[in-house]
Amino acid sequence: MRVLIADDSIPVRERLVGFISEVEGVTIVGQAENTLETVLLTKELNPDIIVLDIRMPGGTGMDIIYDIKKFNPKIIIIILTNYHFPEYKQKCMKEGADYFFSKSGEYEKVIDVIEELISKNK
């Protein structure tokens, strides 16, 4: 599985790279720090999974979910955010996000989802 990490926080990206890169069968193909870079890297790298923050420079993760899914509807989008409000979750899921997790305690769920997707694709 090819994973793109999109978050404006360097420590968060480093933490995610550390966790995700330990999963067998995963390659971190890129990291983005804003919405424009996320869209450009998505089109250039065509990842299988994007771990996407909601609040980033240049817009929001919610703003680009639809565009990502329009480019490739098979890309799995995992929202990982500090803004885990029900209305944000509803909007993200409506736009095409596949999962929505809180940074305040659900990092392990990102790993669980990725491991599950890998096992389904074997």
pLDDT of residue 24: 93
> How far apart (Å, rounded) are the C-alpha atoms in residues 89 and 41?
24
CATH number for the domain harbouring residue 10 = 3.40.50.2300
Domain that holds residue 103: 2-111
Q: Decide if 74 is inside a domain.
A: yes
Q: Decide if 6 is inside a domain.
A: yes
> How far apart (Å, rounded) are the C-alpha atoms in residues 45 and 57?
21
pLDDT of residue 60: 87
Name the domain count of the chain.
1
Global pTM?
0.95
pLDDT of residue 78: 98
pLDDT of residue 105: 87
Q: 4, 66, 10: which is closest to 31 by C-alpha?
A: 4
Q: Decide if 120 is inside a domain.
A: no
Q: Decide if 27 is inside a domain.
A: yes
pLDDT of residue 47: 98
Q: Decide if 78 is inside a domain.
A: yes
| 78-81, long-range: CB < 8 A, 24+ apart | 78/49, 78/50, 78/51, 78/52, 78/110, 78/113, 79/52, 79/53, 79/54, 80/7, 80/16, 80/51, 80/52, 80/53, 80/106, 80/107, 80/110, 81/53, 81/54, 81/55
Q: Decide if 121 is inside a domain.
A: no
Q: 29, 48, 30, 25: which is closest to 98 by C-alpha?
A: 48
Query: What is the residue-level pLDDT of the chain in tens, covering all 122 positions?
Result: 999 999 999 999 999 999 999 999 999 999 999 999 999 999 999 999 999 999 999 888 888 999 999 999 999 999 999 998 999 999 999 999 999 999 988 989 999 999 999 998 87
